[in-house]
Structure 1
Amino acid sequence: MIATLTLNPSLDYFMRLEALNVGRLNRAIETAVRPGGKGINVSRVLKRLGVDSRAFGFIGGFTGDFIRRFLAEEGISAEFTVLEGLTRINVKISADRETELNGAPQPISQEDVERLLSVLGRLNAGDVFVMAGSVPASLPPDIYRRIIEKLPAGVKPVVDTSGRPLAEAIAARPYLIKPNRDELGQLFATDIQTVEETVLYAEKLLDEGVENVIVSLGADGALFMNREAALRASVPQGQIRSTVGSGDSLVAGFLAALEKGMAPAEAFRFGVAAGTATAFSDDLCTAEDVEKIWPRIALSTIREKRH
């Protein structure tokens, strides 16, 4: 089974404008409301790719009820820990450029964390557990590491976050992490400019015990590295409609392909196709979108098996 965790979900209100005029009345030409949060995005894309998952996380209030109902309507199983207060509302504005207004997260107590951990204790060896997104200010920055250390033996942790929460999680030797190039540079307090530098620092993460590393490079594609191989994927040109959820789609596509029995290299190519398909869409990718782009993703080998 694949499970996802979203500590800091949201109700996302999308507005498309002809142009954003700050300080003046703006009228949207198109709106949409969807659940937000990286783990939730992973579950939604997995479902679209024909793979079931179970969504965990914290929700509250009428906005939390909306998230629960929305996922149920999409056929996604969820077991959220309910908090007092309101799940935050984020406003995503698409005009001449993208602008985001993110609401403040709900406070989360240690008792709330313990309730979550008791639920996660039912995961089984072999399950893949995706922890994705930012950490609310009311939680310690090492929360992902603490959760990994409390998981049942044999569960495969996947971490997609940034900054100190990612650095702390790396110490627990997760199965997979997926930073982008900037987030990788932040881990080592450096500005990574080239693919060669990206490879160098990704190798350092393998030395620290991470089993698999995917680094998203935006228009330059992505890298996949473990001790067996190091690969680079190049992406086709196309119109970028929105970058929201692209990295989450990459993770979901990669894990969905592994779940269906693909070899890691082909699963990586499929994941990059999913991330690209989302970038070319107004919403998260569909299976049809991914199937069209998948053959256009080119792989090249950076190095052979690591000794």
Structure 2
Amino acid sequence: MILVVDLNPYVTKQYKTEKIEFSKINTVEEKITQPIGVGIKASLLFSEFDKYPIFMSFTGGYNGELIKDYLRKRAIRSETIDMRDDTSELMMLESKDKKVYFMTQNARLSRDELDKFYYEFSKISRESEYVCLLGSKYNMESERFAENIIRIADKENAKLAVCVDNQSPKSVMDSKPYLAILKKSQLEEIANQNLELEMQITKIAKSYIDKGVGVIGVFDSNRFLLIDDKNGYRVPLKLTEKMVIDRSMVTAGYIIASTRDFDMPTTIKFALACGMSKVYSREHFDSAEIKKIMNEIEVERFNL
């Protein structure tokens, strides 16, 4: 079983109008409301490949109910902790030539809400083979949330994969997750130096592998590097404005591949293809499209 922890799901409300006029009442022609978030998207990906995930997060107010109803209609089990603040929402006002965005402030979490989350997470992770930790923080800057989640998962023998986002990269890596996906800039923050050469990147990553991190994936501007306890793997990337890799979906894709006993090159291809897939716009991941993308990815192995 796979447990997906989404630190910040939210609801989008998209309004369309002929023309945006400031300081005037704008009449909208269409309204689209949809729950969104990296954990929701990952749960849909897991469901597509018959992994039956459990979605876990904090939800509050009407927007929180929308998220729970959205998952229920898609047969995705959710275990959410009720919070006093409303779940965040992103409002978009769109015309033919202009877009305006408004985002409500992230929810604030109380000590009781956090403690309840840790308690429920401990119980559910006990049943789970993998935990996928995704998303940005709520307003809890003093709370070492990601580190606590990793520690609890390890205690319950669940393999935790984390896409390092707004968490402190060093403290997350020091917590020794099963898999960490991060950007080169985050690795530079950990090392407190610029990492221009591939050997510099792999050296820092390998030092954390030696300390107990299972696998580390690092995105650079033109390549993806993956380091495990035996080898390094390099994937040249040719990214454009239209081709952006979703690191959260790479994290989820790696977990799916791990359950299928793929070799490492195939695992990397599958994970990256999940991050590149564009079919999600229709709330559906097409395995044929993912396979097509995999065939276009070249993985080079190198010694550490």
CA distance in 2: counterparts of 1:150 and 1:35, whole angstroms? 28
Q: Does 1:257 align with 2:260?
A: no
Q: Structure 1's 137 and 238: CA in aligned 2 closer, same or farther, altered over 3 A? A: closer
Structure 2 equivalent of residue 35 of structure 1: 35
Post-superposition CA distance 1:205-240 (Å, at most 9, x none): 32332111112335x242211112211123466771
After TM superposition, the structure 1 stretch with the greater mean CA deviation from structure 2, 111-120 or 94-103, is 94-103
Distance of aligned partners of 1:23 and 1:217 in 2 relative to their CA distance in 1, 3 Å threshold: farther
TM-score by length of 2: 0.83
Contact 1:4 1:43 in 2 (8 A): yes
Residue 242 of structure 2 corresponds to 240
The Cα of 1:82 is off from its aligned counterpart by: 1.0
Counterpart mapping for 1:117-128 below 5 A: 117-122=118-123, 123-124=125-126, 127-128=129-130
8 Å Cα contact 1:236-1:296 kept in structure 2: no
Are positions 1:199 and 2:202 aligned together?
yes
SS in 2 for 1:158: strand
Given the alignment of the two structures, is residue 299 of structure 1 paired with residue 295 of structure 2, yes or no? no
Please tell me whether the aligned partners of residues 59 and 83 of structure 1 are also in contact (alpha carbons under 8 angstroms). Answer: yes
Q: Is residue 271 from structure 1 mapped to residue 271 from structure 2 by the alignment?
A: yes
Greater C-alpha Rg: 2
Matched to 1:149, the amino acid is R
Distance in 2 of aligned mates of 1:92 and 1:222: 33
User: Hey, what's the Cα distance between the residues in 1 that align with 2:175 and 2:137?
Assistant: 17
In 1: Cα distance, 2:29 partner to 2:230 partner: 49
Q: For 1:240-277, what per-residue CA distance to the aligned partner results, in whole angstroms no more than 9, with x for missing partners? A: 16x4x811111111111111222333111100111122
Q: Against the structure 1 CA distance between its residues 227 and 22, is the aligned structure 2 distance closer, same or farther, given a 3 Å change threshold? A: farther
User: How far apart are residue 170 of structure 1 and its match?
Assistant: 1.8
Aligned partner of 1:62 in structure 2 is: 62
The verdict on how the C-alpha distance between 1:221 and 1:90 changes in structure 2, with shifts beyond 3 A counting, is farther
Residues in 2 aligned to 1:191 and 1:93: alpha-carbon distance in whole angstroms: 40
Is the 8 Å Cα contact of residues 8 and 138 (structure 2) preserved in structure 1? yes
The 1-side partners of 2:269 and 2:91 are apart by: 32
5 Å-filtered alignment, 1:169-188, equals 169-188=172-191
Code of the residue aligned with 2:217 in structure 1: it is I
Kindly indicate whether the alpha-carbon contact (under 8 Å) linking 2:53 and 2:77 is maintained by their aligned counterparts in 1: yes
1: distance between equivalents of 2:197 and 2:31?
Answer: 38
Distance 1:254 1:29, change over 3 A: farther
Give 1:83 shift: 0.9
How far apart are 1:31 and its partner, in Å?
7.2
| Further displaced range: 86-95 or 119-128 | 86-95
1:38-73 Cα shifts (integer Å, max 9, x gaps): 333322222223322111110111111111111222
Aligned to 1:208: 211
- In structure 2, the residue matched to 1:154 is 157
| Residue type at the aligned position of 2:85 | G
Q: Give % identity.
A: 17
RMSD of aligned alpha carbons: 3.5
Change (3 A) 1:11 1:118: same
Describe the superposition over 1:170-222 as per-residue Cα deviations: whole angstroms up to 9, x where unpaired: 2221111111222222222334445444333322332332111112335x242
Normalising to structure 1: TM-score of the pair?
Answer: 0.82
- Name the counterpart of 2:48: 48
Cα deviations across residues 135-165 of structure 1 (Å, max 9, x unaligned)? 2223534111122223343111222223553
